[in-house]
């Protein structure tokens, strides 16, 4: 049962990413964000796209995934990649400053330790950010998305009222630009 639910979430997540890729191939001047569950996915679009364009992209994404274009299921701006980046950068900084704290306990000169540790911490955080992208893409491919959607099929694409989460992401993704109006969609799938 749990394995079935996880599989559905992963396939819906892949279809969500594929939909965003298809939209990006055919349209400019918009941003999109989504989240998936075992029943389908929600898609927030910020820009001037019609409901028909979004619906066409969902069905085109489904067709292309079924045709073997499994790479469409991966997206570099996925939350998996962002969480991986944040985690690795945090751990890198904490590790370097933790080593500095140990050195400070021996030298008792906190300012020289901070001045010596700070640049190394920045360097390690930058390296962690660089390394985290391929690690995050690997984790996404292996654990959070699935490009082979099998018998998963779209049964409904409908516009829904934008939620408070949609409005928050409008601030984060498009800096609250009022010309990029928020639109929300619920895509329902079945196996």
What would the pLDDT profile of 137-156 be if each residue is shown by its tens digit? 999 999 999 999 999 999 99
Same domain (yes/no): 63, 149? yes
Range of 137's domain? 79-144
Whole-number pLDDT of residue 165: 87
- Which residue from 27, 58, 33, 59 is spatially nearest to 46, judged by alpha carbons? 33
The confidence score (pLDDT) of residue 174 equals 86
Question: Residues 118, 140: one domain?
Answer: yes
Do 46 and 128 reside in the same domain of the chain?
Answer: no
Q: Are residues 9 and 73 in the same domain?
A: yes
Strand positions, DSSP E, the chain: 31-37, 40-46, 153-160, 182-190
| pLDDT band for position 47 (cuts 50, 70, 90) | very high
Q: How many independent structural domains does the chain possess?
A: 2
Q: Are residues 60 and 8 in the same domain?
A: yes
For tokens 């997206």, the residue is 75
Question: Is pLDDT at 103 greater than 70 in this prediction?
Answer: no
Q: Are 45 and 9 members of one domain?
A: yes
Name the pairing type of β-strands 182-190 and 31-37. Answer: unpaired
- In this structure, the number of other CB atoms found within 10 A of the CB of residue 13 comes to 24
**Within this chain, do residues 98 and 125 fall inside the same structural domain, yes or no?**
yes
């Amino acid at each position: 049962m749990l394995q079935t639910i996880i599989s559905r979430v992963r396939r819906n997540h892949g279809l969500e990413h594929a939909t965003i890729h298809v939209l990006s191939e055919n349209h400019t001047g918009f941003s999109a964000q989504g989240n998936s569950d075992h029943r389908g996915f929600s898609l927030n679009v910020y820009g001037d796209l019609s409901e028909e364009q979004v619906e066409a992209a969902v069905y085109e994404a489904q067709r292309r995934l079924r045709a073997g274009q499994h790479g469409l299921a991966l997206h570099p701006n996925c939350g998996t990649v962002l969480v991986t980046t944040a985690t690795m950068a945090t751990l890198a900084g904490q590790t370097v400053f933790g080593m500095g704290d140990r050195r400070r306990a021996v030298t008792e000169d906190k300012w020289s330790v901070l001045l010596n540790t700070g640049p190394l911490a920045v360097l390690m955080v930058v390296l962690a950010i660089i390394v985290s992208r391929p690690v995050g893409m690997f984790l996404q491919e292996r654990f959070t998305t699935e490009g082979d959607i099998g018998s998963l099929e779209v049964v409904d694409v409908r516009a829904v009222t934008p939620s408070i989460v949609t409005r928050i992401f409008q601030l984060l993704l498009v800096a609250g630009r009022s010309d990029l109006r928020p639109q929300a969609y619920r895509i329902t799938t079945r196996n």
